[in-house]
Structure 1
Amino acid sequence: SGRQALGVEYDMRNQLYSHLLRLSFGFYDRHQTGQLMSRATVDLQGVRFFLGYGLIFFFQHVITLVGVTAVMFWYDWRLALIALAITPVLIGLAYRYSHISHPLMRDVQQKMADVATVAEENIVGVHVVKSFAQEPQEQAKFDRRSEALFRQSVNANRQRAFYVPLISFIPLVAQAIVLLIGGRMVVHGQMSLGHFIAFNLMLAMLVMPLRMLGMWIGQAQRATASGERIFQVMDEPEEVTDKPDAVELPPGEGLVRFEQVSFAYVPGRPVLEDIDLDIDAGRTIALIGHTGSGKTTLASLVPRFYDVSAGRLTIDGVDVRDLELDGLRSEIGVISQDPFLFSETVRENIAFGVPDATDEEVEHAARLAQAHEFIDKLPDRYDTMIGERGITLSGGQRQRIAIARALIVDPRILILDDATASVDATTEAHIRLGLREAMKGRTTIIIAHRLSTIALADEMVVLERGRVVARGAHDELIGTSTVYAEIYEHGLLEHELIEQVEAAAS
C-alpha cells in the first residue's frame, strides 16, 4: 500500500510538473508561484497519505463489515438487525460531517497556500524587503496569514472533535442494546451462553471499523480537497499548443508579417488593435512608444507566447499557429529586460538552449555578448557556479550572459526587450558592438527607450495605445511623429554620451 501510494504521488508530481511546463504565459499571469508550489508539495502529500493509509483501512474495514455481518445474521438474525439498527443514524452523521468538513478542509489547504505564497515572495524579494526596512511589516503580513490558517484549522478541528467522537459513540450504543437484549435471551433460555459470547465477539469486530468511520471521513475530505486543488491545475487547458497537423518551420530568412493583428489579455480590453506590419528578412526594427503602448506584447506574439485574438502572424509565409512550437521557438532568440539565470555554471546557463554546445561555441557566444572578459576573471571561469537567479553577478553581467544564451542558438529572429536597460553606458557600448555583429543577417526586433539602442535599428515603428502610428527612419519621424520627437528629445543627451563611450571602446 505504501509503495503504491508513493508511486501514485510520484506519477502525479511528474504529470503536474509536465503540465505546468506546457501551460502558456497567460496561466502564469493569473496564478501566484506560492499557490502552485503548495499544490505540488503539500496537496500531493495529503493525497499520498490518504492513499497509503486511508484506502487500505477502508477496504479492510469493508471486507470485515461484510463478512462479520453475514456471520451475525447466520448466528441470530434478530440480534443482527438490532446491531444494524444504528446504520441510518451513522449514515446521516457521516453525510453531515462530510458535507461540513469538505469546504473547511478546502479552505485550510488554500490558507496553507497563502502562507507559502507570502514566504516565497519574501524569500525571493529579500533584498527589496531589507532595502526598505520592511521586515516588521512583512512579518506582520505573514502573521496575519498564519493566524487565518490557525483559525480555519481550529474550526476544522472543532468539527472533527464533535463528529468523530459522536460517530464513534453510536456503535457502542448498538453494542449496549445487544448486550441487554441478548442477556435477557440467555436468562430466558432463548440463547445459549456460548452462542451469546460468540455473537458479542463478532459484534466487537463490527464495532471497531464503525468507530473508525469518523476519522476516515476526515482524512478522505482532506485528501479530496487537496485532489481538487491539484486537478484544478491539471485540468487547466493549454491555451497555446501544437495543432494536430502542425508543421515544422520551413527554411527561410526570417520574414515576419502582422496582418490585422489584435490582442487582448482580458476579453474586451484590447492591448493591440489592427496591427499591419511587415519586417523584411534580415532587417532590424525598433519598437518605440510610451510605457503601456504594447511594444513588449507585440514582440511576445512572434515566438507565440500568446495567440493573437484576431488576424494572423506569419513567419516566412506560415501562420505561427500552424507551426510546431519547439521548432518555432528554437529559431527565435529572446533577451528580456530582467534576465533569469539558473543555479548552474556559467557554461550551462549560456548553453541552455543548446545543451550539447562545444566549449568553443560557448566562448564564441560569450565574446559576441562582450561577456568573455568578465567570465575569464571569475574563480572557475566558465565552470563558476551562479547563485540563485544569478544573484552573485551584477545586473550588467547577468544581461550579457542572457545575450550569449540567446546568440548561441543561432536564431533566425532576435528579440531584444530593453536588453541594455540594466547596464551602464560603458557596458552598453561594449554590448552594442557585439550586437552589431550578432544582428547581421538576422531579423531583429528591438524594444528600447534609449536612443543609443534605437540607433541599432534600420527603421523605427512607433506604437501608441496599441496601434502603429508611424514608421520610418529618424529623418522622417522627427518631423511627423510627436511621440518619436518626444522620446528623441529626452534621450538626445544620453545618446551623445553613449556614442562617445562607444568610440572609445572600439
Structure 2
Amino acid sequence: MTASPASPLYRLLGYATPWRRRIQLASLCSILNKVFDLAPPLLIGAAVDIVVQREQSWFASIGVVSLDAQLLLLTILTILIWGLESAFEYAYKVMWRNLSQELQHATRMDAWKHLQELEMAYFERNHTGQIMAVLNDDVNQLERFLDGGANELIQVTTTVIVIGAIFFAASPLIAVLAMLPMPLVVYGAFRFQHRLAPLYADVRERVSQLSGRLANSLGGIATVKSYVAESFEVRQLETESNAYKTANAAAIRTSSAFVPVIRMVILMGFTATLFLGGKLTLDGHLDVGIYSVLVFLTQRLLWPLTGLAETVDLYQRAMASTKRIMDLLDTPIGIQSGGQPLNIHHGGGTIEFQKVRFEYLDGQRVLHDLDFTIAAGQTIGVVGATGSGKSTLVKLMLRFYDPSAGTIRVEGRDLREVQLKELRHAVGLVSQDVFLFGGTVRDNIAYGTFDATDEAIEAAARMAEAHEFISELAQGYDTMVGERGQRLSGGQRQRLSIARAILKNPPILILDEATSAVDNETEAAIQRSLERVAHDRTTVVIAHRLSTVRNADRILVLERGRLVEQGTHQALLDRDGVYAGLWKVQTGDRHAAGIQTSCMDRGD
C-alpha cells in the first residue's frame, strides 16, 4: 500500500502532520503489543525444551540448571510477557481510538470551514447530498479505518517480520520454504488493492447520489405530497439504492476472493514447516522445542494474513473516502477577500457599476455593460421581466460572484479590494426565499448578530411588525420554528427575515423580491416596516410588483441584462416605454398586456 505524492494515503499523512508524534507512539504500542503477543509460542517451546532436554535445556545453557528454577523462571516470564502484551493492547486501543476521533472531528470541521469560504458557484455546481455524504459518510469511513484498520496493518507487518526473523534464526532452510509464499501474499494484496480502488470509488459516488436523492426528496416533501408523487419518489430512491447495492456487490465479490486465495498460498509454507521441520527433528538436526515453536508460529502467521483481506477492504474504502475529503479541502476558493477596510457608516454607501458584464461558466451572458450610480442614502428600485438579471445584481453586490468585466465600487472602493467580511457586514439582505434555521424565533432574529440583547431583538421585531404575531405564539420568542421555519406562515417568515436585517443595522439594505410571495395585507405591513428601515440607508429594492418601488428615488429598468431606462416612477410612465408597459399590465390595462406578456415570461 504505497503512498505516491498523488495518493490519498500520502495526502492523508500530510494532513495528519500535527498528530505525527501521537501516530508514531500509537504505532510503537501496536508493534510492542504484537511482539509480546508472539512470545507465548516461544514460551511453549521453552516448556517443551525443559521437559525433553531437562538439565541440557536452553535455560540451563544460561546458568539456570535446576528444573524447579527453570519452571519458576518460565512462569515469571509468562506473567511478565502476558502483562506487557495486555498493557500495550490497552495503550494502542486508547491511542488509536482517540486519534481516530480527533482526526474525524478535525477533518469534518476543516471541511466545513473550507465550505464556508467557497463561492456560491461551488454550491450551484454540487448537490447538497454529495456534500453531506463527504461530511458524514466519508469522514466516518476514515474514522472506522483509523479506529482498527491502521493497527491491523502495523501488526500484520510486525508479525511477518518477527516470525521471519525467528524462522531464520532457528533454521534458514525452513525459513526460506515457509516464507516463500510471502511475496505472493504481498503481490496478491497489491493486486486486490488495485482492483478494489475503482470499485470503491464507484461505491462512494453511488452513496453521494443516494444521499442527494434523499435530501432532494425530503426538501420538497410538500410538493411530493401535493402532486401525489410518493410512489414516484419511492421508485426513484429504489433505482439509486439498487445502483448502490450493485456497486457494493462488485466490490464484495472481489474482496471476498482474497481470503481463499491467500489461505491456499500460505498453506504451502505451513506444510513445508510441518514436513521439513518434522523430518529435521526426527533426524536430530532440530530440537523438539524449536520445532514446536515453528509450528505454533506458522499458525500465528496464518490467521493475520488471512485477515489481511478484511483490512485491505477497510483500507480501500477509507482511501476512497479520503480522496473525496482531500479533494474538498483542496478545492480552491474562487472569491478571495481583499485587504482594504470598508468603513461604511450610516448615511454612506454609494454604489457604482462601471461597464459591468457578467456571464456564467457555461458562457451564458446575463448582464451587458451596466453603468449606473446609486447615491448614498437613496432608495433605488430595480425592475424588469423575469430573466432580465435583477437577482444577478444582488449576487454581484454581495460578491457571491465577481463581474466578468467592469468594476463595482462601494464608497469608491473596488469590491475585489475590500475585506469580504466587512462588505457583507455592511449589507443587509432580505430575500424572497427566506431561510429560517432550526431553533427559536429569538435565535433566528439574532442570527448574524449573536450578541444582541433581548431588548434589541424585540425592538427589531416591533419595527418589522412581527412582535404582535410572535407574542401570540405558544412560547413567544422562545417558540421553535421547525425545520426551515415550517411552523410559520410565509408572511411570518418574511417579517422575521426583515427583523433579522433590522437587528444587523447595515448601512446598505438589499430587498430582493421581499414582498412577492405574501398577501396584500402582509405586503402592506412589510412595506410600512421597510419604509422605516430604509431611513438613512442606501436601499436597493429588487421588485416584480412595481407598486413596491413607485416611491423610490429612482427606478432602474432592466431588459435582457441591459439597463434600458431609469428615472422616477412618474417620469418613466411619461416616457411610455418598457416600464410604462409593465405598469399597464400589472394595473389591468389589457391593451398593454398583449405587448408585454412575452417580456414578462422570459426565464431568469
Task: Please report the TM-score for the alignment, with normalisation by the length of structure 2.
Answer: 0.78
* 1:249 paired to 2:343: yes
* Whole-Å separation in 2 of the counterparts to 1:170 and 1:264: 61
* Stretch deviating more after TM superposition (48-57 or 92-101): 92-101
- SS of the residue 1:271 aligns to: strand
Question: What's the CA shift for 1:179?
Answer: 2.2
- The residue aligned with 1:216 is 311
Equivalent-residue separation in structure 2 for 1:162 and 1:483 (angstroms): 72
Distance of 1:358 and 1:91 partners within structure 2 = 65
Structure 2 unmatched ranges of 5 or more: 1-95, 590-604
Distance 1:378 1:493 in 2: 39
193-202 vs 422-431, which moves further: 193-202
2:433 aligned with 1:338, yes or no? yes
Partner of 1:202: 297
Answer whether contact 1:65 1:209 (CA < 8 A) is retained.
no
Aligned partner letter, 2:508: I
Q: 1:85 aligns with which of 164, 180, 204?
A: 180
Pair 1:16 & 2:111 matched = yes
- Which residue matches 1:420? 515
Q: How do residues 3-402 of structure 1 correspond to structure 2 at under 5 angstroms?
A: 3-243=98-338, 245-251=339-345, 253-266=348-361, 268-402=363-497
Q: 1:137 to 1:384 in 2, by over 3 A?
A: same
Cα distance, 1:173 vs. partner? 2.0
Which whole-Å deviations, capped at 9, do the CAs of 1:4-45 have from their partners, x for residues lacking one?
111111111211221222222111111111111111111111
- Alpha-carbon offset, residue 383 of structure 1: 2.0
Structure 1 residue 390, shift from structure 2 partner: 0.8
Is the alpha carbon distance of 1:456 and 1:365 closer, same or farther for their aligned partners in structure 2, counting shifts above 3 Å? farther
Aligned residue identity for 1:155: A
Contact 1:168 1:214 in 2 (8 A): no
Please report how far the alpha carbon of residue 182 of structure 1 lies from its aligned counterpart in structure 2 after TM superposition.
2.7
CA contact (8 A) 1:449 1:487 kept: no
Shift of 1:223: 0.3
- CA-CA distance at 1:205 after TM superposition: 2.8
The separation in 1 between residues aligned to 2:466 and 2:580, in whole angstroms, is 34
- RMSD of the alignment, in Å? 1.9
Whole-angstrom distance in 1 between the partners of 2:126 and 2:145: 27
Distance 2:161 2:448 in 1: 60
CA deviations on 1:220-241 (whole Å, 9 max, x unpaired) are 0000011111122111112223
SS at match of 2:181: helix
Counterpart in the other structure of 1:451:
546
Q: Percent identity?
A: 38
Q: Is the 8 A contact 2:351 2:411 kept in 1?
A: yes
In the aligned structure 2, how far is the partner of 1:235 from the partner of 1:104?
23
Distance 1:196 1:481, change over 3 A: farther
Q: 1:499 matched to which residue of 2?
A: none
CA positional deviation for 1:308: 2.0
Partner of 2:14: none
Q: Does the 8 A contact of 1:436 with 1:456 survive in 2?
A: no
Listed one character per residue, the Cα deviations across residues 384-416 of structure 1 (whole Å, up to 9, x for unaligned) are 221111111111111111011111111111100
Deviation at 1:475, TM superposition (A): 3.5
- Pick closer, same or farther for the CA change 1:308–1:164 going to 2, 3 Å: farther
Q: What is the deviation of 1:193? A: 3.6
Take 2:510 and 2:525, find their aligned partners in 1: how far apart are those partners? Answer: 19
1:259–1:275 Cα contact (<8 Å) kept: yes
1:167/1:213 contact within 8 Å kept:
no
Q: Structure 1 pair 473/207, CA: closer, same or farther in 2 (3 Å)?
A: same
- Give the drift of 1:149: 1.0
Deviations 1:114-164 (A, max 9, x none): 222222222221111111100000011011111111111111111122123
Rounded to whole Å, the distance in 1 between the matches of 2:106 and 2:394 is 37
Within the candidate set 546, 567, 572, 1:472 is matched to 567
Query: Quick one: distance in 1 between partners of 2:312 and 2:584?
Result: 70
Larger Rg: 2
2:557 corresponding residue in structure 1: 462
Tell me which amino acid in the other structure corresponds to 2:184.
Answer: V
Partner of 1:490: 585
Preserved contact between residue 44 and residue 226 of structure 1 (Cα < 8 Å): yes
Stretch moving more, 282-291 or 169-178: 169-178
**SS of aligned partner of 2:536:** coil
Deviations along 1:197-246, whole A, 9 cap, x unmatched? Answer: 22222333333332222221111000001111112211111222324x34
Cα distance in 1 for partners of 2:290, 2:263 equals: 26
Are the structure 2 counterparts of residues 238 and 456 from structure 1 closer, same or farther at C-alpha, using a change threshold of 3 Å?
farther
1:301-350 residue CA offsets vs partner (Å, 9 max, x unmatched) = 11212222222211111111222222211111101111001122212211
Q: Report if aligned partners of 1:275, 1:468 keep a CA contact under 8 Å in 2.
A: yes
What is the match of residue 82 of structure 2?
none
Give the C-alpha shift of residue 480 in structure 1: 4.6
Task: String of CA shifts for 1:398-442, please: whole Å, max 9, x gaps.
Answer: 111101111111111110000001111111112111211211221
The CA deviation at 1:195 is 3.0
Deviation digits for residues 44-84 of structure 1, max 9, x if unmatched? 11100100100111112222221221121111111111122
How far residue 449 of structure 1 moved from its aligned partner, in angstroms, is 1.0
Q: Indicate the SS of the match to 1:373.
A: helix
Three-state SS of the structure 2 residue aligned to 1:301 is helix
Secondary structure class of the residue paired with 1:378: coil
What is the CA distance between 1:190 and its match in structure 2? 4.0
| Partner amino acid, structure 2, of 1:483 | V
The answer to whether the Cα contact below 8 Å between 1:264 and 1:270 also exists between their aligned partners in 2 is yes
* Counterpart code for 1:109: R
- Cα pair 1:249 1:324 within 8 Å, conserved: no
Report how far residue 269 of structure 1 moved.
2.4
Taking the aligned partners of 2:326 and 2:429, their CA distance within structure 1 comes to 32
Q: Is the 8 A contact 1:289 1:464 kept in 2?
A: yes
Assess if the C-alpha contact under 8 Å between 1:371 and 1:400 holds in 2.
yes
Judging changes above 3 Å, is the alpha-carbon distance between structure 1 residues 369 and 250 closer, same or farther for their aligned structure 2 residues? Answer: closer
CA distance in 1 between partners of 2:148 and 2:462 (Å): 58
Q: Residues of 1 paired with 2:137 and 2:470: CA distance?
A: 40
Q: Read off the aligned partner of 2:561 and give its amino acid letter.
A: G
In 2, distance between residues paired with 1:493 and 1:20?
Answer: 47
Contact 2:337 2:417 in 1 (8 A): yes
SS of aligned partner of 1:147: helix
